[in-house]
Each structure stands twice: as structure tokens, then as C-alpha cells.
A and B are shown apart, each in its own frame.
Chain A
């Protein structure tokens, strides 16, 4: 697997196929993140597309001291935030009927790939649904840094750079997210 910087240089030299390799490498990560952040598969698809098109268009501005994946996450975060601002935010509670279009169903590939029994597949699906419920409930301001920390495992300093906030602000928001989520959902965890 070629190094990201090597691929980027190839793209800048005019090799479009090299960018296809970058898409294949990172699309699932960005999709997952966008999906958990936006709470919606369709939105996640658009966000992933817009992220890569944006990255491709501005590839000459990419600074080599950064990691390419971090840059992609930053772009995806900004696109998602803008998208969420434009949409009406729906607080996801148990009283609201589950939106069947917003499918939590695992794809067929995921079900087939799971080595365990049908029971654990159902469990995975339920867990996934529960996580989505929690994250959709959490305000976006806390959701972004919380996901970057707990799902993507970025450091406080990296997150601060990505969302253009101070490290102390990032910490406070993540602490708050933890308090809010455990306060509301601990009995179901």
C-alpha cells in the first residue's frame, strides 16, 4: 500500500487513479464518522462525496506535516456541521417513532461477515441503534469532539486543531458529553 503522501504527489502530477486509491482507503472511515455525526445514511453518503471532492479540489493546499486522514476528518466535520445547521435538529427520544428510512439495519455484507451466531448479529444491530440514539440526542456541539475522541481516538490537541477551538474548550465539551450521556442512558448501558 503506497504511502498517502506518495499518492497525493501522484494526483498532483495528474494521476487521477491515485486519488481513487485514497477514496477506497478512507471512504468507510469517513462514512462511519459522518453517519454517527449526522445520524442519517443519506446525509452520510452526500457528506463523504462532498468531502472527497473538496479534498481533491484543494489538494494543492494540503500541508504535508498533517496526516491526510486528519485533513479528511476536518473537512467532513465542517461539511456535516453546515448540513446540520441547515436541517431542523430532531431530538431523538423513545417517544418519537423510529424512522424506518433511517435504517440501522446492518448491510448484508456485515451480517454475512460476522463470525458469530444470529443472536450476536441482532445484538450488534441493537447496540448500533442504541449508539445512534445516544449520539442523535447529544447536541452537535458536544457530539463532534466526543466522536473524534472516543470513536476516532484523536488527542485533545488534534481535535482542538481540527475544530478550531482551544484545548480547554475541547476538554470541557467532552467531559460534558460524558456526563450528559451517562446521566441519561446509564441504566440502559
Chain B
């Protein structure tokens, strides 16, 4: 009862938590101290007793009783608040919005950037093929071919309002407007070149 040795170290030694130096320190003390030696021995006995005591079996009817008293997991409460009931309507709304989006975009762009129809006229002699080309038709000679009517070549091009460069190609070779003209088209009109 009088030993002043650090008690905690005895427990740590018992739990195998000490490093080699600590182990040596405790063991050299125990070799000389009957009190601490006895303490360690009784710890060993106690641990052995607890570890080896027979396990007590539960009653054979216990498992069945537990199962019979388990609550309903998949009852209406669980299903009502289940994630599926939230996700399905949300997904439906998302899908509808995604479908409406391109439609609304199309409607908005049509409204904001209304297409205009511009008629181009040019009086030319000695022309076999005449074509209107510009930014609005990617400078494609086949996009807006002009038609001769009473000596005047004419075509109508449809495109969005804006500033465009353009010219007329004669016989696939010659540019009428050289360099090309540039104009701000903001409404349907008739242009005589």
C-alpha cells in the first residue's frame, strides 16, 4: 500500500502500451516491489476471469419475439416521404422546361431579330447569269440567283436585320460592286443598284 511508483505505468504495461524502454523500467521495478508484482498478478487473474466466463445464451424464443415486433419499414409513411415521390415530379417539370426552352428561344429570336425581305434590282445588258451574294447568304453564288424581267435583274433575299456587305456577280466572273458595298438593313426594302 506504500509504493509510490507511478500506477498508470503499471496499467500501461499491462495493456502492452509501453515502448521497450518503458517495459524495462516497469519490469525492473516489479522485480523489486512485491506490492506492484501482486497488483499485476491480480490484474491478470481478473482479465482471465472476465474473458473466460461462460457466455450466457439468450432464450430461444427471443429472436422470434423481436421479429414480430419490428415496425413496418416500407409502410405508407416511408413511401410518402420517399425520395422517388419528390424526384419524379421535379424531373417532369425539368423535362417540360427543357422542351419549352428551345421553343421560347425561337419565339424570342423571331420577335427580336425579325427577318426582313430586301429586293435587289439591277439593270444590266449583256449578262447571262446574275447572282446576289453577301454576308447574308455566305457569298454563295447559288443562294440568290437573279431573274431577268424586262431588262432588269431582280431577286429578293430574306435575312435578319443587320449590317451586311454584298455585291452582284455577273456571269460568275465579274463583280458589279467592286469593292463590295456595305449597308445597314433594318427593314424590308427595294434596292436598285
Contact = CB atoms under 8 A, between A and B. Distances in A.
Nearest 6 CB-CB pairings of A with B: A31-B58, A182-B42, A150-B50, A189-B45, A186-B42, A131-B53
B70 interface: yes
Contact of A31 (B11, B51, B52, B62): B62
B55 A28 contact: yes
A32 B59 CA distance: 11
A73 interface: no
Nearest to A130: B49
Q: Is the interface of A mostly helix, strand, loop or mixed?
A: helix
Interface stretch (A1-9, A87-95, A104-112): A104-112
A186 B45 contact: yes
A45 B62 contact: yes
Interface of A: 11, 14, 16, 19-20, 23-24, 27-28, 31-32, 35, 41, 44-45, 48-49, 52-53, 56-57, 59, 106-107, 109-110, 124-125, 127-128, 130-131, 147, 150-151, 171, 174-175, 178-179, 181-182, 186, 189
Contacts of A31: 56-58, 62
Contacts of A27: 58, 62-63, 66
B51 A150 contact: yes
B62 A49 contact: yes
Interface in B142-174: none
A128 B50 CA distance: 9
A56 B58 contact: no
Interface of B: 7-8, 11, 39, 42-43, 45-47, 49-59, 62-63, 65-67, 69-71, 73-74
Q: Is the interface of B mostly helix, strand, loop or mixed?
A: helix
Contacts, number: 100
Contacts of B53: 127-128, 131
Given A14-B74, A19-B70, A32-B55, A127 B43 contact: no
B127 to A, nearest CB: 80
A23 B7 CA distance: 42
Nearest to B40: A182
A53 B70 contact: yes
B50 A45 contact: no
Given A23-B67, A48-B66, A150-B50, A189 B57 contact: no
